[in-house]
Structure formats: structure tokens, C-alpha cells
Chains A and B, each alone.
Chain A
Amino acid sequence: MDVVKGYEKEFNQLVETYEKNTHDKSLLNPSIANIIVSGNKVVGLNNTPGFRISSKTRGDGFVIIDVNIEDNTKMLMPVHLCTGFLEKKGEQLLKFNYNIGENVKVKFKSHCILTNVEKLHHYMTSDMYIGKNSHVEYEDEHFHDEKGGVFVETLTYAKLDENSYFKTKFYETKTRVGRINVLLDLDLGNYAKADLESKIYGQKDDIIDIKEIMRLNGKHSSGIAKSTVFATDATKAHVINEAYGNAAYAKGHIECNEIVKGHDMSVSTVPVLKVQNEKAELTHEASVGRIKQDQIEILMSKGLAEDEATALIVNGLLS
């Protein structure tokens, strides 16, 4: 593990917050590849065989992070991408470029630790290329400040080459959202497969925007995009799921469930399905509304109060 000289304190502070929030103590294990970014500085990184991560800060303040994985690299342990912000106010601008070779197996665990800021714009854009037959998982977990001063924008563009697999999980369920804007735009080649999942818990005056796009451009490509939002208080949530069936035997399914509680929230969802090949097949499912009465009442019939029943159901949905 290389800790950048002069930034040991920030490094330790981020590791500590991470361990506290996730109960995961593996971050400093030398066999784990990782990068730790504080503000607009990389404060620590660790490479492993076949996996190379490098970074530079551009004149405009963007931290550019290049991730290269050689063909046939099988990463047994997840790669940790840890970004944090320890000052009170500011902007964090990150650009990730992923170049993932053929026959790679890798899982990224990304954590954004923004628990102590008053006002922050965290902007992260990622360009990802996934080589043939590779298997990539990407888990994104966010921890934000409880006062709602965080604005997170995360835009991911990924190209999936033949027979590759890409699975993403975006979770912001444990702390306040603030404002969040998630975009995932995938271009799937022949036999490529995607599985996208996002779960977000909105409270107070949180604003949530999710847009997931699957461009099923290769024959036999397939994908599922599923979003779950629990919107309480005055949360505003808007979810757009799009699927384009542009090749023979392409198969896509989009699903959006928005569960609401309270009187001041406002949620919406827009599914877009467009087929340009007669052998493609797209489906969608959506529900917007309260938790189903029979789910609440079956738990009440076991002695739980309505609020306890709701909490148990929502915990399950967001877990």
C-alpha cells in the first residue's frame, strides 16, 4: 500500500470512517487492490498482479484515474475504490477510465464517504470498456451527511464486448441522500449480459434522479435494470428506465418500484422500450404507491404495530 507522503492523516481518517460505516476491516490488506481519494487528491493506492491503477490531477481540478486490467486476470478479492471528502465545503471531480481486458474476473467495491460535509458537489464520471468474456461486478455504496448538503452525480458509460457480463449495485439506503443523480448508459455487444440494480431511501427533502439505459446492440444480448426507491417525507424521485432492442434475440427487462410514505413526496417513473429488430423482446414492470395493505396487515396480525411492519418490509426491500 502506497500512502502519499504528507497525507497520512487524511488517509487514516478515511480508512477509519470506512471501517466504522461498513464493519469491513480488509481495506489495508496488501493483497487487495485499491485507490483512496480524498477531495481532489489520491492519498493511497495499491496495485496487484495484472491490475494497474494510476492517477493524475488535471488543471481543471479533475482527478483522472486510469484502471487497467490485463487479459485473463482473475481478481479473487474485490478492488476497493474509496472516495471521501473531509473538508466542510467544496467540489470533488473524478473521472475514471476503465480498460478491462478479455477473460477478466473482477469485482469493484466503491464507497463514497461524505458523512462530514456541509455542502459538496461530488461528480464522478466513468468510462468503462469490458473485454470479451469478462465478468465485472460493480457495487457502489454511499454514506452521506445527515443534513442533506451532498449532491452526488455519478455518470457511467460502459461498453460490453462479446459475451461479457456486467453487474452493478447502487445503494444509498443507510444515510441521507441529499441530492443524487445516477446515470448508467450501457452498450451491449453480442451475447453480453447486464444486471443493474439500484436501491435508494429518500427522506426529508431529498431529490433522487435515476436514469438507466440499456442499448441491446448485439444479438442475444440481454439485460435487467431494476430500481427500488422508498420515498418518505418530501422526497422527490424520478426514475427513467430505457431499453432498446436493436438486434436479434436481444432481451431486456426493466423494473421500477417506488414505495411511498407520507403526504409531501412526489415520485414518478417513465419506462421507454424501443424495439428495432423483430426478434428482440422487451418487457417492463412498474409500481408506484404505498406498501401493499396485505403485507402490512399480515405482519400486524402477528402483533407488530403498523410502523414496525413498515420498517420490516422496507428493510427487506432495500437490503
Chain B
Amino acid sequence: MLALEDIRYSKNSNDIVKGVSMKFERGGVFGIIGNNGVGKSTIGYIIMGLSEYKPTSGRIILSGEDITNLDVTNRAKKGISLLWQEPARFEGLSIKDYLTLNKKIDIKSVEEALDMVNLEPKLYLNRLVDKKLSGGERKKVELASCMLLKPKYIVLDEPDSGIDIMSLDMIVKIIHYFQDNNTGVILITHRKEIAKECEYSYLLCNGKIFLEGKSDKIIKYYEKTCDSCGHINYAEEK
């Protein structure tokens, strides 16, 4: 199990995450939903352990071990990874070198992963992971990369953003692929077609969990209320 225990995070004296506790299991699909700016990506970064996102208080527990103070590399080695909402670009680095991580992963698996994200390996292996890739292509390359890592837990931060509607089925397929490989999927999304894959979801509002439970209930509530809310301090007033 991967658990967040009462995580708080402030930046420049702004409280961005205000006491969040979540639990994830391997092989399950968990949703984090909520409007723009409620703190979804921040929670993803805190799980991954990015240097700018050390929690102000609270603990992160992986299979009974406190990993709150582990850096990104060591969390990755323990099986946690992240699909960035806006993955970085690299000048001069080929998709092949990026996905094989400089020959650490075999090329055959890389080709299979590219096929799964609907990128023809022949056309893409020698292209660069630079600014010339479109937003959707970059995101697909990153999805392939995350699959190749075979993580125990993966945070997918809006895997559908920048990707055409036609590819939604592909993303659903990849979520199932993770599940089949006993990866716990932590899915950040706005899109109903994707959110329906979650069994359990957390609805965030203003840095807090406003509601959690079975996904269909949470999604219904989100659509009915949050879509038209625009009231970012709802959680505090409640």
C-alpha cells in the first residue's frame, strides 16, 4: 500500500495542500479529481518526491516504510513513477535513447510500447524529444516511457490532456495494462471517459479532500456541483 498521511504543503506562505490523506493499492485505479488549481498536480509531485515539493508536514508510507525523505531517484527505484502533466523537452535526445534510458531497456520492448501508444516505431525512434514534437506526441512518448518502467505505483497526471479524442481508448487500454501488471494507478483527470475507470476517487477542493468514495458517486457530484461552482474556498467554509 502507498499512503499519504495528513500531508500539508505550503509555498511562499501559501497553503496549497491542507492536510490530505489518501490510500492506494497495487492493481487498483484511484482517481484524483477537481477543478483547475485545487492541488492535484502538487499531490502528484509530492508523491514523486520532487525537490521543490517536500511536504511541510505529514508522512508518505510505502508498504510500511516511511519514504517521506527519499529523493526522486530512490522513490523511482522503489517502484513509484509519474507521468508529468507537461513533460520536459530535451534538445538532441532521441526518442530511442530517451525510452531505452541510454540502453538500460531493450529496444524490442521500446518498440512494443510505442505501438501501444499508437506511435509507429519506424517513424518515431529517431526523432528527438525536443520542442518539435507536438504536445500530444510528447505525452504519448511519456506514456510509453512510464509503461516501460513497470512501476508498482504510477501517478498519471492528466494522461488525456493534449491527446485527441480518438486516443481516449488507447489511454483506457494502457490503464488496464498497468492494472494487469499489478501497478497501482493514481489517475488525475477531468474527463469522465477516463475517470470511469477508477474504482475509488478523491474529489479535491482548495487543497483539501472534499469528498471521497466510489467513483461513480464522486463523478456525479463533481459534474453536478463543481463544474458550476467556481467557489474555490468551498472546503474551508464547510
Q: A46–B88 Cα gap in the complex (Å)?
A: 48
A298 within 8 A of B: yes
Asked if B76 and A312 make an inter-chain contact with CB atoms under 8 angstroms apart, the answer reads no
Q: A294–B88 Cα gap in the complex (Å)?
A: 6
Q: Which residues of A contact B72 (CB under 8 A)?
A: 297, 300-301
Given contacts A293-B51, A297-B50, A316-B97, contact A303 B88 (CB under 8 A): no
SS class, residues of chain A in contact with chain B: helix
Q: Which residues of B contact A318 (CB under 8 A)?
A: 92
Digit string of B72-85 for contact with A (CB within 8 Å is 1, else 0)?
A: 11011100111010
Interface residues on B, range: 20 to 34
Asked if B73 and A304 make an inter-chain contact with CB atoms under 8 angstroms apart, the answer reads yes
Look across to chain B and name the residue whose beta carbon is closest to the beta carbon of A318: B92
Asked if B84 and A306 make an inter-chain contact with CB atoms under 8 angstroms apart, the answer reads no
A5 within 8 A of B: no
Given contacts A303-B73, A303-B149, A304-B101, contact A298 B92 (CB under 8 A): no
Best-buried of A293, A294, A300 by chain B (most CB within 10 Å): A300
Q: A294–B76 Cα gap in the complex (Å)?
A: 15
Given contacts A292-B88, A293-B52, A294-B88, contact A303 B93 (CB under 8 A): no
Asked if B91 and A316 make an inter-chain contact with CB atoms under 8 angstroms apart, the answer reads yes
A287-319 interface (Cβ within 8 A of B): 292-295, 297-306, 308, 312-313, 315-319
Best-buried of B72, B76, B82 by chain A (most CB within 10 Å): B72
Q: Which residues of A contact B93 (CB under 8 A)?
A: 312-313, 315-316
B215 to chain A: closest CB distance in Å?
A: 26
B58-95 interface (Cβ within 8 A of A): 71-73, 75-77, 80-82, 84, 87-88, 90-93
Look across to chain B and name the residue whose beta carbon is closest to the beta carbon of A306: B73
Interface residues on A, range: 20 to 34
Asked if B88 and A319 make an inter-chain contact with CB atoms under 8 angstroms apart, the answer reads no
Look across to chain A and name the residue whose beta carbon is closest to the beta carbon of B90: A316
B6-62 interface (Cβ within 8 A of A): 48, 50-52
Q: Which residues of A contact B52 (CB under 8 A)?
A: 293
B137 to chain A: closest CB distance in Å?
A: 16
B225 to chain A: closest CB distance in Å?
A: 33
Q: A300–B80 Cα gap in the complex (Å)?
A: 11
Given contacts A297-B72, A298-B84, contact A317 B51 (CB under 8 A): no
Asked if A298 and B101 make an inter-chain contact with CB atoms under 8 angstroms apart, the answer reads no
Q: A187–B75 Cα gap in the complex (Å)?
A: 55
Q: A304–B90 Cα gap in the complex (Å)?
A: 16
Q: Which of A295, A297, A308, A315 touches B51 (beta carbons < 8 Å)?
A: A297
The 3 closest A-B pairs by CB, nearest first: A316-B93, A316-B92, A300-B72
> Which A residues fall within an 8 A CB radius of B?
292-295, 297-306, 308, 312-313, 315-319
Can you show 8 pairs from A to B with CB atoms below 8 A apart? A295-B88, A295-B90, A297-B48, A301-B80, A302-B145, A312-B101, A315-B93, A316-B91
> Which B residues fall within an 8 A CB radius of A?
48, 50-52, 71-73, 75-77, 80-82, 84, 87-88, 90-93, 97, 101-102, 128, 145, 149
Since A298-B87, A303-B77 are in contact, a sample of 20 more A-B pairs with Cβ atoms closer than 8 Å, ordered by chain A residue number, is A295-B88, A295-B90, A297-B48, A301-B75, A301-B76, A301-B82, A302-B76, A302-B81, A303-B76, A303-B101, A303-B149, A304-B101, A306-B73, A312-B97, A312-B102, A313-B90, A316-B91, A316-B92, A316-B93, A318-B92
